[in-house]
Structure 1
Amino acid sequence: MSEKTTPLPEKATPSGTHTAGAFDIRNIIGALLGIYGVILLLAGLFGDTASAKTGGINANLWTGLALAVASAVFLVWARLKPIVVPAHVEPVEDDPTRPAPRRRPADH
């Protein structure tokens, strides 16, 4: 009568792979847009609105809101579709046409 149950893995990724995490460019872009968005939101709420220059529209407030929304889109996108990094990548052979420094021979 006892049934064996196996616990489900928390993150279903193929064995030997991991995600890019904080090094995913979408996280970096989302964080920067979020920081600028919060700064502009605060400037729009508590700073001078400069109504004469913008035709009566609080440009800092609306731009801050737009940047906060764009930031949320990038961060949610990175969370829902993470970049999977393979476990093993073949080393790049030394290419004589590449402008980088040459590798030393193994016996050196």
Structure 2
Amino acid sequence: MASEGSGHSAGAFDIRTVIALLFAIYGVVLVVLGFIQPQAEIDKAAGLNINLWAGVGMVVFAAVFIAWARLRPITVPDDVEGGSTAE
């Protein structure tokens, strides 16, 4: 949620960006494996290239997360007044 005062975007430290990056990496790996796997492996899965489709789904999921992080960025306040410290 955006705050009322001034602040800056969380950017790369936004958890949605980290999750999207992980899903994108694993998704691309699965897409590549989906293209190079032998037909015998596809036949084991009732003719469905599950690696390819799971990879495409993960890449789409990552794109949605990146779009969400860009369209609704988390705003971190620049200064904290009266911040509590552990004593």
Q: TM-score, normalised by structure 2?
A: 0.84
Structure 1 equivalent of residue 84 of structure 2:
92
Shift of 1:46: 1.5
Q: Does the CA contact (< 8 Å) of 2:27 and 2:55 recur in 1?
A: yes
**Unaligned segments of structure 1, at least 5 residues:** 1-13, 95-102, 104-108
Q: Does the CA contact (< 8 Å) of 2:24 and 2:59 recur in 1?
A: yes
Q: Which has the larger radius of gyration?
A: 1
Shift of 1:93: 3.9
Q: TM-score, normalised by structure 1?
A: 0.69
Structure 2 equivalent of residue 63 of structure 1:
54
Query: Residue type matched to 1:20 in 2?
Result: A
Q: Does the CA contact (< 8 Å) of 2:31 and 2:51 recur in 1?
A: yes
Structure 2 equivalent of residue 42 of structure 1:
32
Q: Distance in 2 between matches of 1:73 and 1:15?
A: 28
> What SS does the aligned partner of 1:85 have?
strand
**Unaligned segments of structure 2, at least 5 residues:** none
Question: Using CA pairs below 8 Å that are at least 6 residues apart, which structure has the higher relative contact order?
Answer: 2
Q: Deviations over 1:41-91 (max 9, x none)?
A: 000012235123211100000000000100000000000000000111232
Aligned positions of 1:22-41 closer than 5 A: 22-41=12-31
Runs of 4+ in 1 over 3 A off after TM superposition: none
Q: What is the count of residue pairs matched by the alignment?
A: 82
| Structure with a larger share of its residues in helix | 2
